Amino acid sequence: MASHHLSHDDPAGYLAGYLDRLARGLPADAVDELADGLTETWRHHIDAGRDPAAAARAATAEFGTPETIIAAFVAHAPGRRIARALLVSGPALGACWGASLITAHAWTWPIPVPAAAGYAVTLLAVAAALLLAATGRRSLRRTRLGAIGGIGIVALDAAMLATTMLVAPVLVWPMAVAIPASLARITLTVRSLPAALAP
């Protein structure tokens, strides 16, 4: 990748090719930083007496494969952590709300069908975004879906809480668990979002 200011001595674009592979999964700033370190490593090997081609091979071997490096960035990504936490906690909260809605006979509530359908579609989209963010290992950008999913979860929780407070004719006992659980999830998710949204 020419923009990484590698030396013209880069043998047959060996290092540039390596950085191009990194750029497929990492943002430009991270690749620039790695390019600097890779060039330093390469020069170290040249200073140790290797020819440029051998030094390039030694430098990339010392760095590790691009896939390993990308996976290490992804493993630490806040978006991935949010996605995993929400996916792990999701079934329990879903069960709480399911029990609440069944016990409260939610199908009798005066909710327009398009609103209910919109909620269901959003829930599916959010779940898909979280799954993608939690399972990818090849792209740091993909983990940003965790932040989008987190925003979606906050919106869905808020909508469910508002609907329950405004529309439900009576509060039923499973809501004593579901409502605090949703409030806690909203709080924890909102606190985690800034890191996941940071560039």
Partner 1 sequence: MGNRENGDRPTKADAQALKGHLDVLLLAALEHGPRHGYAVKEALREGSGGRFDLPTGTVYPALHRLERDGLIAGTWSTVDGRRRRTYRLTAAGQRRLHADRGEWRAFAATITKLLEAGAWPATT
Positions touching partner 1 (CB under 8 A) are 4-5, 29-30, 32-41, 48, 61-64, 68-69, 72-73, 75-76, 78, 195, 198
Report d(CA 79, CA 84) in Å as an integer. 9
Minimum CB distance to partner 1, residue 192 (Å): 11
Phi-psi group of 139: left, alpha or beta (phi > 0 → left; psi -120 to 50 → alpha; rest → beta): beta
Q: Is residue 174 within 8 Å of residue 161, measured between CB atoms?
A: no
Closest Cα partner for 178 from 94, 107, 106? 94
Nearer to partner 1, 27 or 118 (CB): 27
Give me the least distance between CB of 23 and partner 1, in Å please: 14
Q: Smallest gap, in angstroms, from Cβ of residue 69 to partner 1? A: 4
Quote the least distance from Cβ 110 to partner 1, whole Å: 46
Q: In the complex with partner 1, which residue's Cβ is closer, 32 or 122?
A: 32
Where are the strands (E) in the chain, listed by range? none
Phi first, then psi, for residue 187 (nearest 5°) are: -60, -50
Q: Is 48 helix (H, G, I), strand (E, B) or coil?
A: coil
Instruction: Pick the closer one to partner 1 by CB: 73 or 97.
Output: 73
* Residue with Cβ nearer partner 1 (34 or 153): 34
